[in-house]
């Protein structure tokens, strides 16, 4: 079964850091671009970042550029999102998603990030 499972969410203070993980299974992880997408409570979907299949190219939404870093370990079939300098407006459910021709064909169940003092 093709599956993505996120972890690492939790409560963090403003200005703090958190690293999210996304474990992939059931497909050849190293062949696919991967993304992070977030959704604030009661709000819509917002794309955050994308990494290519070998990790050599990354892009970010302007709102997280310079604060978040996407990476991957193809040997471990795992995607990461390092989030630094967290702000209240970063609070959201963070989903990892697989890229298929520039759309998101497989999604994880999400991990919640809360930013509060």
Binding site for other proteins (CB under 8 A): 35, 44-47, 50, 59, 61, 95, 100-110
- The minimum distance between CB 61 and other proteins, in angstroms, equals 8
- The minimum distance between CB 93 and other proteins, in angstroms, equals 9
Nearer to other proteins among residue 17 and residue 109 (C-beta): 109
Torsion sign across C-alpha atoms 45, 23, 61, 15: positive
Pair 4, 108: CB distance under 8 Å: yes
Distance CA 59, CA 19 (A): 18
Nearer to other proteins among residue 5 and residue 71 (C-beta): 5
- Expressed in angstroms, the distance from the first to the final Cα of the chain is 39
Nearer to other proteins among residue 69 and residue 110 (C-beta): 110
What number of other Cβ atoms are within 10 A of residue 98's Cβ?
22
- The minimum distance between CB 14 and other proteins, in angstroms, equals 26
Nearer to other proteins among residue 16 and residue 38 (C-beta): 38
- The minimum distance between CB 45 and other proteins, in angstroms, equals 4
What lies within 8 Å, CB to CB, of 15 at 6+ separation is 85, 86
């Amino acid at each position: 079964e093709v599956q993505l499972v996120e972890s690492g969410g939790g409560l963090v203070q403003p200005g703090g850091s958190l690293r999210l993980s996304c474990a992939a299974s059931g497909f050849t992880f190293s062949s696919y671009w991967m993304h992070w997408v977030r959704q604030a409570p009661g709000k819509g979907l917002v794309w955050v970042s994308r990494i290519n299949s070998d990790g050599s190219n990354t892009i970010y939404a302007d709102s997280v550029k310079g604060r978040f870093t996407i990476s991957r370990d193809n040997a471990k079939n795992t995607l990461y999102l390092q989030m630094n300098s967290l702000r209240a407006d970063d609070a959201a459910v963070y989903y990892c998603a697989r890229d298929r021709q520039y759309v998101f064909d497989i999604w994880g169940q999400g991990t919640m990030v809360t930013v509060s003092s």
